[in-house]
Structures are given as structure tokens and as C-alpha cells.
A and B are shown apart, each in its own frame.
Chain A
């Protein structure tokens, strides 16, 4: 069975400093992994995806994530935070048929001026 753990419910950084949002997953098979961002009262937007190609994945808005199978991790990073990055971030795993997507509980990112 699939599951996703996002280790921090809230992360606060200063503008211009690096961002690290942590995600660990469990999966019986080779999963697909995704990061989504949600701004207040909006739908979810795909940031990036891992689908068994390169382990370092680049996404939109300067975000990237590294798939580490040995650590079952898929942490999201950005070198320099911007005020517009303040939002909720969801790590998602998908494998095979059935429920198809399992969402982590989310991490709220605050960016301080």
C-alpha cells in the first residue's frame, strides 16, 4: 500500500534563503511521484513529477526535487525563496490501478520579508 509522509506541517523561511520541504513515501512498486502547490482558495498546480527517468527533476518556478530510492524520499528544494512561493505544498505518490493518487498531508510554506 502506498503512503506519503510530509515531515513538516509548516516551514517558515526568509525571502532569498533556500527552501527544503521534506517528503517520504512507501510504495510496493516503482512509483510515480509529484509535487503540487496550492495557493489560497485555488486548485492544485503541478510543480514537478518523477516517473522513473532522471532522479533529479526540475519543475516550474525554480523548484526541483531528487528521488532517492534507498531513502524513499522525494524532497522539494528551491535555492532562493520568493514571497510568491508562500502556499501549501503537497507530495503525491501514484502506483498502478486503484486509488491512483495518495496525497501527503501538506506543508504550509511561509516566506518572511
Chain B
């Protein structure tokens, strides 16, 4: 089975901190994604990557950056955390275009 692992289930960070959310997949998938999920707003795509060192902005990239130095790892970076970035963050991977995505268990980030 595909496994997508997010480094933390729960995080509490202070306003202004630089925050790293890590995601690792073990099935050699080409595509990786970062979403945030908020009540009433559903899942919104932050960034995705279709190859190593390649990235594309999603719907809400402001305040975030990403890094994909190795195929299996996709990191989401909050350059200067703010309280409006308190959310559930979900990482996903998929083999190719139009194939199903596999999700990690999520990281619930609270910025205080």
C-alpha cells in the first residue's frame, strides 16, 4: 500500500516563526500536493509538484513556499507564520495525471 507520511500530527507555533511541514511518500509517485482544509472552505490547493525541483502554485500560495529536492519528499514552508494560517494541512501524492491521490494523516497547525 502507498504510504504518505506527514512529520507531525499536531503543531503549535508562534506568530512570525518559520515553519516546516514535511511529507514523505514511499511509492515513487511523480506528483505531490499540499492542501489546507478549513471548515466551510473545503480543501484548497496551496502548491503542487510534478517532478523533482518543479513546483506550481495552486489556489492559495501566498505566505507559503515549497521544496522538493528529492522525489519522495515535499516540504511546505511558512515563511513567517500568522494566525490566519492556523489550519489542517494535508499532503498527497499521485502516480501520474488523473490517477488517484493518496493522502497523509494531516497536520493540525495552530499559530498563536
Contact = CB atoms under 8 A, between A and B. Distances in A.
A51 B98 contact: yes
A100 B97 contact: yes
Contacts of A106: 42
Given A94-B97, A96-B97, A100-B48, A43 B90 contact: yes
Contacts of B4: 43
Contact of B33 (A31, A90, A100, A105): A100
Contacts of A101: 33, 45, 101
A96 B104 contact: no
A96 B97 CA distance: 6
A105 B94 contact: no
B97 A97 contact: yes
Contacts of B105: 42-43
Consensus secondary structure, chain A interface: loop
B106 A103 contact: no
Interface residues of B, number: 25
A107 to B, nearest CB: 11
Contact of B106 (A41, A90, A95, A99): A41
Q: Which one of A44, A46, A99 has the greatest number of beta carbons of chain B within 10 Å?
A: A44
A71 to B, nearest CB: 21
Contacts of B108: 41
30 contacts: A32-B100, A34-B100, A41-B106, A41-B108, A42-B105, A43-B90, A43-B103, A43-B106, A44-B101, A44-B103, A46-B100, A51-B98, A51-B99, A90-B43, A92-B101, A96-B98, A97-B50, A97-B97, A98-B56, A99-B45, A99-B59, A100-B48, A100-B94, A100-B98, A101-B33, A101-B45, A103-B42, A104-B42, A105-B42, A106-B42
